[in-house]
Amino acid sequence: MKDKKLIISLIQDDLVNSKLVLGLNELGVNASDYFLNLSDTIFKLMKFSDSKAEEEIYEHYLKLTKKAKHIDITESRNNLNSLAHEIYTELTKLKSKL
């Protein structure tokens, strides 16, 4: 259970970082070098390896994180937290199919 909470927390942090970097890139500031690469840590904690199938899951994860771009976190982080839980659930399902 501790790992689940840690992973969801890391996903939330990754979503905030992705939102920031993608927003800056949209404004014309090349901020791509400032991604924190938390996804690598998330995938290690979830015990994914570097197989071809898991590479596709990683690409799917990156697509899901882009949803954060449209979430307003100034008032509340509830939507962001929901997205983090959704991503965790999706990764867990995909992992079980490997």
Residue type, 22: L
The predicted pLDDT at position 79 comes to: 95
Q: Among residues 92, 90, 84, 47, which one has the least CA distance to residue 68? A: 84
Rounded to whole angstroms, the Cα distance separating 34 from 14 reads: 11
The predicted pLDDT at position 59 comes to: 95
The token duo for 81 is 């937290």
49-93: per-residue pLDDT in tens?
878 889 999 999 999 999 998 899 988 999 999 999 999 999 999
Residue partners of 36: CB distance under 8 A and separation at least 6: 13, 14, 17
| Phi, psi values for residue 34, rounded to 5° | -105, 10
4-43: per-residue pLDDT in tens?
999 999 999 999 999 999 999 999 999 999 999 999 999 9
pTM of the model: 0.92
